[in-house]
Amino acid sequence: MSDWQKVPKVKVVSLYRVISGEHAPEPDSTLPNIVYSPAIDLTSYTAVLKSSIRNRRFNTTSTPKPAIIVTPTKYSHVQAAVLSAKKLGLQLKIRSGGHDYDGLSYVSNEKNYIVLDMQNLNKVTVDIDTETAFVEAGAQLGALYYHISQKSKFHGFPAGVCPTVGVGGHLSGGGYGTMLRKFGTSVDQVIDAQIVDVHGRVLDRKSMGEDLFWAIRGGGGASFGVVLSYTVKTVRIPEISTVFKITKQIEENAVDLVYKWQLVAPIIDVNLFIRVMITPVTVNNRKTHQATFVAHFLGDSGRLLSVMSEKFPELGVKKEDCLELSWARSVLYWANLDHTMPTEILLDRHLDTINYLIRKSDYVQSPITKSGWGAIFEKMMELGQVGLYLNPYGGKMYEIAEDTVPFPHRAGNLFKIQYSTNWADDDPKLEGIYMTQTRALYAFMTRFVSKNPRCSFLCYRDLDIGTMVGNGESSYNSGKVYGEKYFKSNFHRLVKVKTKVDPDNFFRNEQSIPVLHVKAKL
């Protein structure tokens, strides 16, 4: 059976209501050109569906597929899609870059649903005089970085290291990058936004009100409406950034270095961000794990070497390990791209190689003992494929209150863990094997990480920590399970906002913010 034959069918008349734009704010003959259905043009539908799938786990013949895909080119198209889906009783999934790790922006457990793919709404405008940037939700981080770098050598934006991540999902989920210790998260820089609400209205910060504006800065915009754009503050940076990458095997004291890293990285100079990647590797036909220390420093190599010599001499960083780059070229370096290539490559929406992947997250609030790290390395070698990415906090992250935006993971966290499992083989059995391995390491790490709740990062979507079940009180109770892990006490304010702006829960997904019902207690 071909892919399209597995797509649930909506009534033909309903399909054409969407295509004709019956619910558009104004007559628009272009609407049919941005609506894709397998029943009308299978080739185009398939191409658009696959264009932004960033996890091959959700690009199989058995993966649920939308009945319709809408690719708006103007805001009235988004309004039409919202009003049409609402009228037809269809779930609306919203996709900007397609990096949702569990595919929730384009896969659903509901029978009939529409995907609103924002890739054509990708305008970026930078105003260096006001030190701001306007960026539409369908733009990718790489485009935002490129346009800022073209206007100034002394400005940047603190967001993710992967250039193909969509702005809409990244900013609405929290967003962070190698400058978070200096400037905080991406959403800490948001000063305005535009959104289409459940009534089809286009609202900005003033017209949506401060509660809704608060909610879409880290609370997951897709629970409240369709985010069209953000206006953000750019940040001032030095003309030179310095990067380095140093890898140590277990035999080269990798365990001791990771132990020392966790003590130093959160309190070192705020201009320095050092990520540690603990990954499987084969050396001399022997499987083992290694620790790779990757740094981004806002400043020249001389200053960096001085900081490292004083605070982390054990790593042994030397002048020849350091590479001085512009901020834009440091983005290429961190994305594992050739930093000498033209920075226009950041505009390419398909830079990265797409593999199968699994992700999870944790936060560490107390240093892990040296013997604890030894046990973690041993467990990882036993399991085989799972890697850990350790991202330090401190600096600005400790200065911002937990309730400033919905993203709450601030003071008290030493570092964040990303569990990372990747593979390229098409063997369908591997997903089960690697999922089991990843869950096993996650379970093993329980004693080392945050508790009550065990916290998670929304941008590292993980359905294992809970999903919404049922309606009414049951949806609230199930939503609270994952909601408090993502948002801590901010979850309760998010529920109040959701109940006010979308009481019928039109904007929903498997981990959306639930509506408060009479029997539920905040």
Catalytic residues: 460
Alpha-carbon distance of 430 to 434, in angstroms, equals: 6
The two structure tokens encoding residue 159:
């967001």
CA distance 272 to 243: 10
Q: Name the strand (E) or helix (H) holding 190.
A: strand 190-196
Cβ within 8 Å of residue 282, ≥6 positions away: 288
Q: Which residues contact 116 (CB under 8 A, 6 or more apart)?
A: 70, 72, 78, 81, 92, 93, 94, 95, 226
Residue pair 71/119 in contact (Cβ under 8 Å)? The answer is: yes
* Burial of residue 500, with CB atoms counted within 10 A of its CB: 0-12 exposed, 13-18 middle, 19 or more buried: middle
> Are the C-beta atoms of 226 and 94 separated by less than 8 Å?
yes
**CA–CA distance, 229 with 360 (Å, rounded to integer):** 28
- H-only helix segments in 4-92: 12-20, 42-51, 75-88
- The greatest distance separating any two alpha carbons of the chain, rounded to the nearest whole angstrom, comes to 71
Is the bond into 453 cis (omega within 30 degrees of 0)? yes
DSSP string, 393-405: --GGGGTS-TTSS
φ, ψ for residue 411, nearest 5 deg:
-60, 145
Helix, strand, coil distribution of the chain in percent, nearest 5: 35, 20, 40
